[in-house]
Chains A and B, each alone.
Chain A
Amino acid sequence: MAYEALDFYDIDALLTEEERMVRDMVRDWVDKEVIPNIEEACREGVFPDKWRVDLGEMGILGAPLKGYGCPGLSYIAYGLICQELERGDSGVRSFASVQGSLAMYPIWDFGSEEQKNHYLPGMATGELIGCFGLTEPDYGSNPGDMITRAEDKGDHYLLNGAKMWITNGTTADLAVVWAKLDGVIRGFIVEKDDPGFSAPEMTGKHSLKASVTSELVFQDCQIPKDRILPGVKGLKGPFSCLNNARYGISWGAVGAAQSCFDSAKEYALSRIQFGHPIASFQLIQNKLSWMLREITKAQLLAYHLGNKKDDGTWIPEQISLAKMNNVDIALEIARMSRDIHGANGILDEYPVMRHMANLESVKTYEGTHDIHNLILGRHITGIQSFTREP
């Protein structure tokens, strides 16, 4: 049955035909491939390889990038893709975000011509998987103090250090790793077989179970000189990647929220207590109307931001606001939906508890909720409050 998404303000009518076609293609794929298989993938803690192949075949990886075999879609289309994927599961959207915005994007923007030609076409088709190594065990919200470092050994670089919480790490063919070279943050491309490199998987997650999360360990890891990204120095490199991924998350969160809303609505209409469907009780209606209201606002935020991305008039703080708001309301909607489902809400028969657990990660990664608060606080006041140092 074709899925009809909540679209109270008819945002559909604002999309181009191409955007709608891409959205419908991904929507259909999620209905046929993700939703029927997601619980099993979560139970086994795997990201099915078929999904990688399908995403590559659909041609949506690195959606807004142009050239080098990349799709060249609008940012709105990229947002819609994220929305549909995350309606299935945040883990699927994470895969696509990391591949497109965190691994392909830095090569596309900061890489040499040779690097772009070498990596991007295979990454666009999903034959090559990438990951993004920024976070370290001791440095999460303030990556600027990272300890992973690179040394110039004349004919090669030597990497030492460790990254943690790296999505796609174990399965990736290449990692874009941020490390300090002479005290300055630089991007390096590390390939899976490089000597001194390993990527053990982290286990025991209660969230994003169908997504692979890993450590990246560099012990005298040797890489050729031509693997440094020539085009960027400093935190600007990783942060510009994050901007794109965060933008995608602001749409993705809407997808997860729609899924929770749909499930709550259907359940409330069919669950009878005290002789009536619980949907007929005012307290339940209040919850449903709150969900509708917040989803509609979140959609409008994401859509407007998408237009700004497409015409280049955005600022990073606008992305912070959208990421933070949309994930926040999605998480609240997931919790509310879980509540409406009563005991059934804790079962894996319904998507809500899974979305709820996933969104806890989404709230933390790509800048925690509060880090975005601090970004906005700095924007409003002109005073940074990340650190006590001036």
Chain B
Amino acid sequence: MAIGVLLKQVPDTTAKIGVSEGRVDETAVSKWSMSPYDEYALESALRLKEAGGEDVVAITCGPTRAAKMLTDAAAVGVDSLLHVLVDDLSALDSTQVQSILAAALGRADCDVVFCGKQAADTNAGSTGPGVALLLGASCVSHVSEVSPDGGGYLALRASTGGDERVQVSAPCIFAFDKGDEELRRPNVRGIMMAKKKAIETISPSDLGVSLDNSRVTVVSHTPPPEKPPGQKFEGAESVATVVGKLRDEANVI
């Protein structure tokens, strides 16, 4: 058995996103990083290992460039690396990605899985719960902390009324929100070892997952609509108008 961590490489959250010919121009992305919530998941997985847990396997599904992120994960202590090579993730729908990840977790023999609550590119948040269902595992979402508890685990999760500590046992998936512990910094020794660590690179068909036609087709990407020019209102009476606009026009509250 092993602890699985699902990692996704995304444009760094500080990177500019440009659109050209109706698609986000990935070649113009200046920096690719591990998705931020995945970092918290990874840190928690490493801590679980240190608390007497199993080895940690990092799994990603993505194009060739994502291998670098796996090496970064190895530099902070991940034991083995599995890369399911898919050139264009955006051509797959949620069921396809989840089937690949579930099969990869099966291959790596993981019964406890860590992932981010959503990836910083698609911002969807379907992976954790979806993969859990395919594996017959429980999914605890919006988790900020996980610790071993007898044969199972205690997880701190956000709920509608506040935080709650929940108990769960394997097989289970923890979908991470921002945790208290930032991903550790690597050190030179870790970097040297990471360089030597082999990445097992396989295709979806190696996992026995056949990718029929995706049921979602991206039609276009567009830049976000220009904001209307600033509007100015006189007097406290206008607060109600502004709140209405924040809700309906800006959609931020």
Binding site for B on A (CB under 8 A): 1-2, 4, 17-18, 21-22, 25, 28-29, 57-60, 63, 71-73
The answer to whether B189 and A59 touch across the interface, beta carbons within 8 angstroms, is: yes
Set B33, B187, B195: member contacting A25, Cβ < 8 A: B187
The answer to whether B186 and A25 touch across the interface, beta carbons within 8 angstroms, is: yes
At the interface, yes or no: B96 with Cβ under 8 Å from chain A?
no
Q: Give the docked Cα–Cα distance between A60 and B75 (Å).
A: 15
**Chain A hits for B192, CB < 8 A:** 18, 72
With A4-B30, A17-B195 already in contact, the answer to whether A25 and B185 are too (CB < 8 A) is yes
Nearest to A16 among chain B residues (CB) is B195
With A2-B14, A17-B68, A17-B71 already in contact, the answer to whether A22 and B188 are too (CB < 8 A) is yes
Nearest to A19 among chain B residues (CB) is B191
With A1-B14, A2-B12, A2-B14 already in contact, the answer to whether A21 and B75 are too (CB < 8 A) is yes
The answer to whether A2 and B186 touch across the interface, beta carbons within 8 angstroms, is: no
Min CB–CB distance B83 → chain A (angstroms) = 15
Set A17, A29, A60: member contacting B188, Cβ < 8 A: A60
In chain B, positions 3-40 with a C-beta closer than 8 Å to chain A are: 12, 14, 30-31, 33
Write out, one digit per residue, whether chain B residues 62-77 have a CB within 8 A of any chain A CB (1) or not (0). 0000001001100100
Q: What 6 pairs between A and B have smallest CB-CB spacing?
A: A59-B188, A59-B187, A71-B188, A21-B191, A1-B14, A58-B187
At the interface, yes or no: B194 with Cβ under 8 Å from chain A?
yes
Interface size of B in residues (CB-CB distance below 8 Å): 18
**Chain B hits for A25, CB < 8 A:** 185-188, 191
The answer to whether A4 and B71 touch across the interface, beta carbons within 8 angstroms, is: no
The answer to whether B185 and A4 touch across the interface, beta carbons within 8 angstroms, is: no
With A2-B31, A4-B31 already in contact, the answer to whether A21 and B187 are too (CB < 8 A) is no
Known pairs A21-B186, A71-B188; list 11 more (Cβ under 8 Å).
A2-B33, A4-B30, A17-B71, A17-B195, A18-B191, A21-B75, A22-B188, A22-B191, A25-B187, A58-B185, A63-B188
The answer to whether B71 and A21 touch across the interface, beta carbons within 8 angstroms, is: yes
The answer to whether A58 and B31 touch across the interface, beta carbons within 8 angstroms, is: no
**Chain B hits for A4, CB < 8 A:** 14, 30-31
Set A21, A60, A73: member contacting B194, Cβ < 8 A: A21
7 contacts between A and B (CB under 8 A): A1-B14, A2-B31, A2-B33, A4-B14, A21-B75, A58-B188, A72-B192
**Chain B hits for A58, CB < 8 A:** 185, 187-188
Q: Give the docked Cα–Cα distance between A4 and B189 (Å).
A: 25
Nearest to B14 among chain A residues (CB) is A1
Nearest to A18 among chain B residues (CB) is B195
Q: Give the docked Cα–Cα distance between A71 and B188 (Å).
A: 7
**Chain A hits for B14, CB < 8 A:** 1-2, 4
**Chain A hits for B75, CB < 8 A:** 21
The answer to whether A73 and B30 touch across the interface, beta carbons within 8 angstroms, is: no
Q: Give the docked Cα–Cα distance between A21 and B195 (Å).
A: 10
Q: Give the docked Cα–Cα distance between A372 and B30 (Å).
A: 39
**Chain B hits for A21, CB < 8 A:** 71-72, 75, 186, 191, 194
Q: Which of B75, B185, B186, B189 has the most CB of A within 10 A?
A: B185
**Chain B hits for A28, CB < 8 A:** 185
**Chain B hits for A59, CB < 8 A:** 187-189
Q: Give the docked Cα–Cα distance between A2 and B68 (Å).
A: 17
**Chain B hits for A72, CB < 8 A:** 192
Q: Give the docked Cα–Cα distance between A298 and B192 (Å).
A: 28
Nearest to B31 among chain A residues (CB) is A2
Write out, one digit per residue, whether chain B residues 185-205 have a CB within 8 A of any chain A CB (1) or not (0). 111110110110000000000
In chain B, positions 131-187 with a C-beta closer than 8 Å to chain A are: 185-187
The answer to whether A73 and B188 touch across the interface, beta carbons within 8 angstroms, is: yes
Q: Give the docked Cα–Cα distance between A58 and B191 (Å).
A: 10
Q: Give the docked Cα–Cα distance between A28 and B194 (Å).
A: 18
Min CB–CB distance B182 → chain A (angstroms) = 9
**Chain B hits for A17, CB < 8 A:** 68, 71, 195
Nearest to B195 among chain A residues (CB) is A18
**Chain A hits for B68, CB < 8 A:** 17
**Chain A hits for B71, CB < 8 A:** 17, 21
Q: Give the docked Cα–Cα distance between A72 and B186 (Å).
A: 16
**Chain A hits for B185, CB < 8 A:** 25, 28-29, 58
Q: Give the docked Cα–Cα distance between A50 and B33 (Å).
A: 27
Q: Give the docked Cα–Cα distance between A383 and B31 (Å).
A: 51
